[in-house]
Amino acid sequence: MSSTTYRTCPRSGLQFEANAEKLMLANAVAAVVFLLIGGILAVGVVLTRWPAIHWLEADTFYKVLTAHGIDMLIFWIIFFEIAVLYFCSSTLLRCRLATPKIAWLAFALMVIGAIVNNVAVYQGSSSVMMTSYVPMMAAPSFYAGLILFAVGALIGCFVFLGTLVVAKRDKTYQGSVPLVTFGAVTACIIAVFTIASGAIILIPTFLMSVGLVEKVDPLVYRTIWWAFGHSSQQINVAAHISIWYAVAAIAFGAKPMSERVSRGAFLLYILFLQLASAHHLLADPGLSTGWKVVNTSYFMYFAVLASMIHGLTIPGAMEVAQRAKGFNKGLFEWLRKAPWGNPVFSGVFISIIGFGFLGGISGVMMGTEQLNMIIHNTIYVPGHFHATVVVGTTLSFMALTYFLIPVLFKREMIAPGLAKLQPYLFGLSMYFFCLVMMGAGTLGVSRRHWDMAFQGAALAYPWPGAAYLMMGLVGIAGIAAITGGAIYIYVTVGSLLWGKKLEAGATSANFTPIPRSAPTVVAQSYGSAGFAAPGTFMLAMVFLVAFILYYFINWKYLSQVWGLS
Amino acid sequence: MSAILPPSERLWWKHPLDRVEGTWIAIALAWCLTMFFMMVGWHIYGKQNLSTETYKTTPEKFSAKAQAMVDKYTVRTETADKIPVVAPPAGSDVYIVARLWNFWPILELEKDKTYRLHLTAMDYNHGFSLQPANINIQVVPGYEHVVTVTPNQSGTYSVVCNEYCGIGHHTMVGRVYVK
């Protein structure tokens, strides 16, 4: 047995192993650094796409947009996810982290890769966007950086899996792993698939950039790259949904309505979520209709089904817990009396609603084979993925950070008033940002486009005034959201640097196994009509109606365009 | 705090479902299957389905075919660059070349007539974004995509490139007339 210590946090009762704690801290800090960089870059993107300001020159804009995409979608999120994986294994299972030295090697590779990739982009010869579609080539170091980062992340995944083995062998728990850890396993499995796909396509592209491979086929590149590019966002989905379950447990003491349903839904993710990379290829030549339909629908929307299940069971678990505490009046007292002033809860709740209503519904629209034709590569697409990745993942990570500041960082949060406000400012302005982007996209405005006025084009297309208005609103909402992001960074970094040090709690050379909790009665009879969570069911029905209406509105819109066959 | 603790019942998979969950799963599954069959059904009954007819091609081969069409059916030229405006007969094969940074040539089509539109990119990926109809198709180098189109309204349409293709991306706009 290696020598390590275990600290029991006096505020949460969680047990942190010394190596795991340091690694979580390092990965979380690296994540926040990349969020900061990505956030600064966002200013450039937003102020250039705001037509009235149109700030940066074209070359700078594309450089900034490339770096913004990669820093946010890859580096910020995956660094944080590695911290979450270590938390869900070592901390929740109360065991030591497997192979801490290798975990540090993984961290080092990720840091080096991220820096190398960023430098390549800022040098200017790699403004190829995050997708880097061949035959447009970036500098070799652009690909090399991504590959190093991916190798590091892959090692991190295996450290997580190794830690599960350690916990099992040391018998730190009995029975099955907690639901949140199960969700993290889902994220990890998806991550291994994702990173392998990335390697399969980025390694030959790297070799092409140094002249060792003559040609990578553009369509093959797109097909495999998206198995990496889209799947990496599926890691996020599995990770942030695990965090939602964790926060429901932390903020309310909620237990899952049914382990069977929630775990079954994660299993559907493992089986079907990956197929969704086909979403990006629906407007492509060369792929058959059958391939497109089967894949884009996650076989038969089984992964959408899983998300709809999580969307019900998480608020449902909160409702059941609140009703048990006596907030039992009417459909929504449980929600009105929720801790809205606690950013850990408010962040997660704003995230759940936004992810479902904005990200989920718009995602299904884009992923419908025919509807994709009226959306592909318009600014509707970033509208969608800001709702999933920013409102869904980033806001959940922010909420979790507010929980971790006293628990993991052992600091008192500075500026609690600002922190209280932050999820609302960031989340709600992001809602609006996504909505107006989708609005502009419905009018056809292109994504990744420097100038909607087509300066210098012989046959410029005059976008309707409404499109300009929408893009102006995108600018305003974007600046509001960036302000919200800045507050998060200020509170997090400030607490880490200047927050009052809190007591670490008792340390011990041995872990304390998780005691077996007494089986509880299943019956959940607090609600009306035999429904344990009637309020949540009501919300779910509102969601369903919105979903159905918007779905058929889009078909109506499609039916009016040119005949295509 | 049981989502972050091991389930208290060892046989958690034998737990009964709450009625809220059971009902919702049934409704959600029905909706998911509806969406799936909507997509399949539109292939049978709908009029907007993207063709999958694709051929491997090279810039030389494709340019030659586009040039032949331009030589045969050009009716006038437009702009200082003298971009040919081509009016091919209804039902024929028509070509648009996507390259850094223009779409070439300009097509003049007839309303409610059907054409076989051939698309490819000469260099990088490009995006065929027909405005204001808002039809968007990826244009991939090396692949000739044949899309059967039937314009349903007359007017001037623009083809905006909506796949990032370098510094001049924003100047890449073409045109299609429908009479």
Helix, strand, coil percentages in chain A from 3-state DSSP, rounded to 5: 70, 0, 30
**CATH number, domain B54-178, options 2.160.10.10, 2.60.40.420, 3.40.50.1950, 1.10.3210.10:** 2.60.40.420
Domain boundaries, chain A: 339-453+462-502
pLDDT in tens, chain A (565 residues): 457 999 999 999 999 999 999 999 999 999 999 999 999 999 999 999 999 999 999 999 999 999 999 999 999 999 999 999 999 999 999 999 999 999 999 999 999 999 999 999 999 999 999 999 999 999 999 999 999 999 999 999 999 999 999 999 999 999 999 999 999 999 999 999 999 999 999 999 999 999 999 999 999 999 999 999 999 999 999 999 999 999 999 999 898 888 999 999 999 999 999 898 999 999 999 999 999 999 999 888 999 999 999 999 999 999 999 999 999 999 999 999 999 999 999 999 999 999 999 999 999 999 999 999 999 999 999 999 999 999 999 999 999 999 999 999 999 999 999 999 999 999 999 999 999 999 999 999 999 999 999 999 999 999 999 999 999 999 999 999 999 999 999 999 999 999 999 999 999 999 999 987 766 554 444 444 467 899 999 999 999 999 999 999 999 999 999 999 9
What is the chain A residue with the closest CA to B117? Answer: A564
Q: Do A377 and B162 touch (CB under 8 A)?
A: yes
Interface test with A, best of B99, B170, B177, B178 (most A CBs within 10 A): B170
The helix/strand/coil state of B128 is strand
Cα separation, A526 vs B11, in Å, equals 24
Q: Strand B143-150 relative to strand B155-160: parallel, antiparallel, unpaired?
A: unpaired
Cβ neighbours of residue A565 under 8 Å, at least 6 residues apart?
B47, B49, B51, B148, B150
Distance from CA of A109 to the nearest CA of B (A): 30
Q: Do B143 and A285 touch (CB under 8 A)?
A: yes
Q: Do B6 and A178 touch (CB under 8 A)?
A: yes
Whole-structure pTM value = 0.96
Q: Do B24 and A442 touch (CB under 8 A)?
A: no
Radius of gyration (C-alpha) of chain B in whole angstroms: 24
CB < 8 Å to B173, chain A:
454, 457-461
Cis peptide before A100 (omega within 30 of 0): no
- What is the dihedral sign for C-alpha A541, A244, B8, A191? positive
Domain boundaries, chain B: 12-45, 54-178
The number of angstroms, rounded, from the C-alpha of A198 to the middle of its chain's C-alpha atoms is 18
Q: Which of B10, B119, B149 sits opposite A563 (nearest CB)?
A: B149
**Residues in B 60-99 with any Cβ partner in A closer than 8 A:** 78-81, 83
Query: Distances from the Cα of B104 to the Cαs of B94, B98, B171, in angstroms?
Result: 11, 7, 13
Which amino acid is located at A297 in the chain? S
Q: Do A58 and B167 touch (CB under 8 A)?
A: yes
Q: Do B20 and A245 touch (CB under 8 A)?
A: no
Can you tell me the ipTM of this complex? 0.96
Cα separation, B49 vs B27, in Å, equals 28
Task: State the burial class of residue A332 (Cβ atoms within 10 Å of its Cβ: 0-12, 13-18, 19+).
Answer: middle
Shortest CA distance to A483 belongs to which of A22, A21, A33, A42?
A: A42
